[in-house]
Amino acid sequence: MELAVFNTSGKETKKVKLNKAVFGIEPNDHAIYLDVKQFLANQRQGTHKAKERGEITGSTRKIKRQKGTGTARAGSLKNPLFKGGGRVFGPRPRSYSFKLNKKQKQLARRSALSAKVKESGLVVVEDFTMAAAKTKEYVGILNNLKVADNRSLIVIGENNKNIVLSSRNLQNSHVVTVSELNTYEIVKAKNVVISESALTQIETQLS
């Protein structure tokens, strides 16, 4: 399986052979679902908290006699049935994270990348750098690669401060290194642009 390699001017310079074990498998939708679910669950702080009757400020005096009133018995004003009382089974601080096997995560990533290849949403670009952080210059590169109109994910081999700063002000473009690449970002993007050095690292990690 071959894919064209473009330079930052948008011109095809050569062809690159993709690893079928990474970019040519039948996508496993359930593995993608689990990996995305775990990623989103890990983003949740889980700091929600509601006060129960034992935590409400107020008197615990019995407000009326137990029997003979014609109404239900009540122990105190902190009863959950009263306005201002505690909440029954309210949310408590918790962690939403869950375990996902390493091989399952790798399968999900391979599936997401293979799906992008099938959708013609994968673009390979030559390694490039930026001398200064200029959003206009970065947008020009996206336009040359014909990925500026949709949400794009740029994967670079190593961290480049100027490229990251140039893209930071754009809502529809996100730059990550190979170590930061995850299934959620791949699925969310319409076009995934991978540099040559990043492509080699991805194939090494996932094959």
Q: CA gyration radius for the chain?
A: 27
CB 160 within 8 A of CB 141: no
Per-residue pLDDT of the chain (207 residues; tens, 9 = 90+): 789 999 999 999 999 999 999 999 999 999 999 999 999 999 999 999 999 999 999 888 999 999 999 999 998 999 999 999 999 999 999 999 999 999 999 999 999 999 999 999 999 999 999 999 999 999 999 999 999 999 999 999 988 899 999 999 999 999 999 999 999 999 999 999 999 999 999 999 998
CATH classification code of 2-44+96-206 = 3.40.1370.10
Predicted TM-score (pTM) of this structure: 0.84
The domain ranges of the chain are: 2-44+96-206, 47-95
- Tell me, letter by letter, the H, E, C secondary structure of 151-174: CEEEEECCCCHHHHHHHCCCCCEE
Rounded Cα–Cα distance for residues 96 and 119 (Å): 32
